[in-house]
Amino acid sequence: MESAKILVVEDESILALGLKHKLEDMGHIVLDTVNTGEKAIKAAQEHIPDIILMDIVLKGNMDGIEATKIIRKQMSVPVIYLTAYADEEIIQKAKVTEPHGYLVKPYMSNELNANIQMALYKHSLSKKEAEKIKKSVLEDFNSCIDKIKYSSNINNESDMRKLLFVVFAKRLEADWKPDFIKNNDKNGINESSSGGEIFETYLIWLMNQLNNIGIKNTFKSNSHQLCLKFENCPWIEESQKNPIFCLNCKASLIRSFEWTNLEGEIINKSTMAKGSSECVFSFNF
C-alpha cells in the first residue's frame, strides 16, 4: 500500500484527532490538522501535501470548497471532501473544484483508505500524462517551426510570429476545446449564466489545464486588474534560446478566452524567457 503525506482540514477537534489516529494506523503521515479554510491554505503552502482531506463546513468565513478553489489555483494536489451533508446543492458546488473523492460521514476506515489510494493513483497518472504532454508540445513546436521555414517564404520575424500564433491556436482548438465544452456542461454553464460564473468556471478549468502540463500558476485580483501568473516554465531553456516558444502559452490563453464569449482581452505583461521571475497575463474587461 502506498503511504501518503496528508493534510487534514476538520473543524471538530475530536473528529480531527480520531481521523489522525486512523490515518497513522494505516501507515500514512499526517502533516498537520487545521480547522479553518484560511489555515488550510497556509498549511498547504507550507507542507506541500500529497493529498488533502477537506471538511466542507468549517469555522470562520471560508468553507472547504472555497479553500480548495484557492489551493488548487496554487498547486496540483488531490482533494477528498469529508462532509456530513450529501444534498445535491453542496455536491454540485463541490464538483467545480474537481475533487478526487467525496465521503459522507460517518465512513469506514477501509472506505477512507480506498479513496486515498485511488486518488493517489489517479493523480500519479495525471502527472505521467503531463510529462508526455510537455514532451509532445516541445516536439510539436520544433516540427512546426521546421515545416513553416521550409514551406513558406516568410523571413520577417514579426510575420513568422503571427503565423505561428495562428498555427498554435488552431492546434489548441483541437486539443483543448472539447474538454472546455465538457467542463462547461458539467458545471451547468450556458448562455443564461452570468459573466462572473462563466469566468470563474473558465479560470479554474484553465488553471487545471496549465497544472496538467507542469505550469504552476496563481491568480491575483485587486481593484485595478486580474492577473494569472506562471511561477515556472517547463520549457524555460527552450524559451530562453528561442522566445518565439512563448507563443504557445500566449496562444493558449488568448484563444481559450475567446471560447467564453466574454468581452475583454488578455495582455502578456512579462515572461521568464526575457528575465522576469514569472510570466504574467492580465485579463482586461
Q: What is the pLDDT of residues 229-253, one digit of tens each?
A: 998 888 787 788 877 778 888 999 9
Q: Is this prediction's pTM over 0.85?
A: no
Q: CA 35 to CA 233: how far, in whole Å?
A: 34
Return all residues near 166 (Cβ < 8 A) that are at least 6 apart.
none
Q: What is the pLDDT of residue 153?
A: 65
Q: Confirm or reject CATH 3.30.1380.20 for domain 152-284, answering yes or no.
A: yes
Under the banding of pLDDT at 50, 70 and 90, the label for residue 129 is low
Return all residues near 278 (Cβ < 8 A) that are at least 6 apart.
229, 230, 231, 270, 272
Main-chain dihedrals φ then ψ at residue 126, nearest 5 degrees: -65, -40
Fold of 5-120: Rossmann fold (3.40.50)
Instruction: Average the pLDDT over 78-101 and give the result.
Output: 85
Instruction: Average the pLDDT over 113-136 and give the result.
Output: 78
Q: What is the pLDDT of residue 137?
A: 65
- Report the sign of the C-alpha dihedral through residues 43, 45, 51, 54, in that order: positive
Task: Write down the domain spans for the chain.
Answer: 5-120, 152-284
Q: C-alpha grid cell for residue 66?
A: 472555497
